Amino acid sequence: MKTQDLVAIDMHTHLEVSCRNPFDNYGEEYDRAADKYFKNAKRPTMQETIDYYRERKIGFVNFTVDAESNLGRTRITNEEIADAAAANPDIMIAFGSIDPHKGKMGAREARRLVESHGVRGFKFHPTVQGFEPADKMAWPIYEVIAEHKLPAIFHSGHSGIGSGMRCGGGLRLQNSNPMLLEDVAIAFPDIQIVIAHPSWPWQDEAISLAMHKPNIWIDLSGWSPKYFPPQLVQYANTLLKDRILFGSDYPLIAPDKWLKDFQEAGFKPEVMPGILKNNAMRLLGLS
């Protein structure tokens, strides 16, 4: 990644449209509920995403969410994202996503993605994937991530996926309480764990974990900065300034809007460069 040419690095973007696999409309009601929640029905292709970020000189980490066991919906392949990153290394980094229910088979895939496809980290979504982060079924995948000393992003807090659906689509918010990451952080100190999003209604738990465990970071994706809890801004400006990361949650939230609101959300000018790019460079081994 040509970091010297970039104004920021977005640590949290999704691919939700495959150009390789036919569209699987099973469970499409989750998409419609998310569209309503985020007031955004745009789902760009991989090339559209690359063009969008290159135009803005923003580097980005991209992934999908493999939740085949819990949702019964065919995933977008990790290879599609990895191949795009390999073809666009100046602007893009690929993270993998593996359904934790796949256990040892998932661990084999994780190893292949890292060693043969250049994947630089992994994304988990405990609510959508239907697991608690410390469940031992996920341990084989974590072991591969730890062996290669890679970061892992975990969704936290409320989920727009399932919001407003009957029974919330059967998805459990409790799985994304950030405190459930503590056992993972202790068992795998070589994994840099990124708690994704303001963790409402558990923001203080996320801050406490990051204060206590030096291998825990927080990304600011999924919300406009103007709605951030005040304690999140407070700690981003002070004791956690070196472990706070810019993330948008694109395409659900556009970086243009996020960055505009960020300038007006009370962040100190001296911490902004770290949040926008420098912290991500350290996390990803780019500096």
If one counts the domains in the chain, the total is 1
Distance CA 101, CA 82 (A): 22
Residue 24 pLDDT: 81
Residue 21 pLDDT: 87
> What Cα–Cα distance (Å) separates residue 34 from each residue in 29, 37, 145, 252?
9, 5, 30, 8
Residue 41 pLDDT: 66
Its domain, for residue 191, covers 3-283
Distance CA 111, CA 254 (A): 32
Instruction: Please give the chain's pLDDT, 287 residues, in tens.
Output: 889 999 999 999 999 999 898 888 878 888 888 888 888 768 899 999 999 999 999 999 999 999 999 999 999 999 999 999 999 999 999 999 999 999 999 999 999 999 999 999 999 999 999 999 999 999 999 999 999 999 999 999 999 999 999 999 999 999 999 999 999 999 999 999 999 999 999 999 999 999 999 999 999 999 999 999 999 999 999 999 999 999 999 999 999 999 999 999 999 999 999 999 999 999 999 97
Q: What is the CATH number of the domain that holds 184?
A: 3.20.20.140
Distance CA 236, CA 240 (A): 5
